[in-house]
Amino acid sequence: MCIRDRYECLTYRQDEIFHTPQFIRYCQGQWNVWDPMLTTPPGPYLVTLALRPFMQVLGFFRACDDVMAIRSTNVLALLSLPLLCMGVLRARGCSDPGFVPYICASLPPLWFFGFLYYTDVLSVIAIIASVGAMERKHHVQASLWGSAALFFRQTNIVWVLFIMGVAALRECQRVAGVSPRITPPITTLLVQRSVWMRIIRTVSPYVPIFPAFMLFIQWNDGAIVLGDKSHHQVALHLAQVGYFFGFALTFGWPLIFFLVPMRWGKVHAMVSVVLLTMGVLAVRYGTIVHPFLLADNRHYTFYVWRRIINARLWTRYALVPVYVFSAMSFVRILSKRQSGLWILGWLLATCLTLVPSPLIEPRYLILPYLMMRLYMPTTTRKQEIIEWVFYMMVNALTMTLFIGYPFTWAHEPGTQRFMW
């Protein structure tokens, strides 16, 4: 699509029309040129530039505008993700990770964008690497990975905070001699000076990241996003939490089928009533319809919104019990291996990354879901195979639509393709 300059005359897909030309400019030494439509930092372009000499040794990536070579950055990153996921699982004490690392790398939205030049795969890689280093008590390394994650997506600051919090929690659990699923006696521990000193030593590598991020916000006129701020205003989009748990149910139903007990007690019923009330209020007063959602029929979200969520006025509310069932089911699964504090931190981090966004975007749901999936209890091979096969069926369907069924828009030249 030839939209703004000659760089767009190559075959780019969706946001690639912003990311790929920016890399080409950097590759050609135009370091002072920045596309004002870009909202994320230049991390992906710097990684691709660093990889280019090695690719040239192998005989390709000769030209800066080699689109397939540029995309190979994410392909290589996606291939490395199972190793990083395996590192997290082993650091958690899982002696047999099974297919879980490959399941995580095959999560449909993540897998799909692994073949395009987007920021998501590298963002996930940096955060998962940070989690693995933190669980191995390599906190300096974890903080460096967390810092790198901010060069791919600014909202990763929330996950860096979560990782620091988990590091402190793990230290308290070690001092108390309890397993990760037990909440340690925090008030008792914190009155001991030796415990304070251990926690300070643990979190100190992470602390400089936060004032540095505040300086970035000050430099960026008080905003988190770079460039085009008009379509990325901070909002109170409470319904995003429900959409996340709908997403989690869509891709995590095998976990619920195999791991959630069928019996639900009186306490669960009482909690359900409270969550249903909160969910209805969130839908009523916290639903935002972004212009991009209504204007672009190339994405699953366009059809999910029009044909499911907003099919009728009442369907928004009819989905609230589904969201509540999903949320309670996944919390019950997590509680088998993680403490209440860990779960609360994960829920808060998920809300802080999703609620401020006015746009329903599956890519934003990837990290919260993967964080949850990596901390699930050990599953059976049967469940893992079902989960992985389901993912690959969705991936095959999406790729079939993307490659085999192009279409055109009357108001815009070029071929359009269906995608996440």
In a domain, 66, yes or no: yes
Q: Is there a single domain that holds both residue 221 and residue 245?
A: no
Give the pLDDT confidence score for residue 12 in this predicted structure: 67
Characterize 376-405 residue by residue with b for buried, 16 or more Cβ atoms within 10 angstroms of its Cβ, and e for exposed: bebbeeebbebbbebbeebbeebeeebeee
Mean pLDDT across the stretch 263-275? 86
pLDDT in tens, 278-333: 999 999 999 999 888 877 788 889 999 999 999 988 999 999 999 999 999 999 99
In a domain, 358, yes or no: yes
Mean pLDDT across the stretch 165-171? 96
Q: Which residues constitute the domain of residue 162?
A: 1-228
Q: Is there a single domain that holds both residue 238 and residue 181?
A: no
pLDDT in tens, 182-216: 988 887 787 888 888 999 999 999 999 999 999 99
Q: Which of 56-60, 94-98, 105-109 has the highest mean pLDDT?
A: 105-109
Mean pLDDT across the stretch 64-89? 95
CA-to-CA dists, residue 251 to 76, 123, 256, 261, 379, angstroms: 24, 20, 10, 19, 15
Give the pLDDT confidence score for residue 187 in this predicted structure: 79
Q: Is there a single domain that holds both residue 302 and residue 195?
A: no
Is the Cβ–Cβ distance between 391 and 106 less than 8 Å?
yes
Give the pLDDT confidence score for residue 7 in this predicted structure: 39
**Of 119 and 263, the one with more pLDDT:** 119
In a domain, 305, yes or no: yes
Residue finishing a domain among 165, 198, 228: 228
pLDDT band per the 50, 70, 90 thresholds, residue 415: confident
Residue 1 above 90 pLDDT? no
In a domain, 402, yes or no: no
Q: Is there a single domain that holds both residue 142 and residue 240?
A: no
CA-to-CA dists, residue 416 to 8, 114, 221, 283, 329, angstroms: 14, 19, 36, 32, 38
pLDDT band per the 50, 70, 90 thresholds, residue 405: confident
Instruction: Identify which of 375, 356, 20 has the alpha carbon closest to the alpha carbon of residue 157.
Output: 356
Report percent pLDDT > 90 for the chain: 70
Residue 417 above 60 pLDDT? yes
Helix ranges restricted to H, 5-155? 16-27, 43-57, 67-91, 100-105, 108-113, 120-135, 139-149
Q: Is there a single domain that holds both residue 291 and residue 218?
A: no
pLDDT band per the 50, 70, 90 thresholds, residue 5: very low
Give the pLDDT confidence score for residue 143 in this predicted structure: 98
Q: Is there a single domain that holds both residue 205 and residue 243?
A: no
Residue finishing a domain among 228, 252, 268: 228
Residue 420 above 90 pLDDT? no
pLDDT in tens, 151-167: 999 999 999 999 999 99
CA-to-CA dists, residue 55 to 72, 75, 83, 176, angstroms: 10, 13, 21, 50
Residue 8 above 80 pLDDT? no
Query: Chain-wide mean pLDDT for the chain?
Result: 91
Residue finishing a domain among 379, 395, 411: 379
Q: Is the dihedral of CA 405, 409, 414, 418 positive or negative?
A: negative
pLDDT band per the 50, 70, 90 thresholds, residue 276: very high
In a domain, 22, yes or no: yes
Q: Is there a single domain that holds both residue 93 and residue 183?
A: yes
In a domain, 384, yes or no: no
In a domain, 399, yes or no: no
End-to-end CA distance of the chain: 19
Q: Is there a single domain that holds both residue 265 and residue 329?
A: yes
Residue 6 above 50 pLDDT? no
Question: CA-CA distance, 259 to 37, in Å (whole number)?
Answer: 44
Q: Is there a single domain that holds both residue 247 and residue 146?
A: no
Q: Total structural domains in the chain?
A: 2
Q: Is there a single domain that holds both residue 100 and residue 224?
A: yes
pLDDT band per the 50, 70, 90 thresholds, residue 357: very high
Q: Is there a single domain that holds both residue 143 and residue 243?
A: no
Q: Is there a single domain that holds both residue 364 and residue 217?
A: no
Is the Cβ–Cβ distance between 162 and 345 less than 8 Å?
yes
**Given its phi and psi angles, is residue 116 left (phi above 0), alpha (psi -120 to 50 degrees) or beta?**
beta
Mean pLDDT across the stretch 335-363? 95
In a domain, 404, yes or no: no
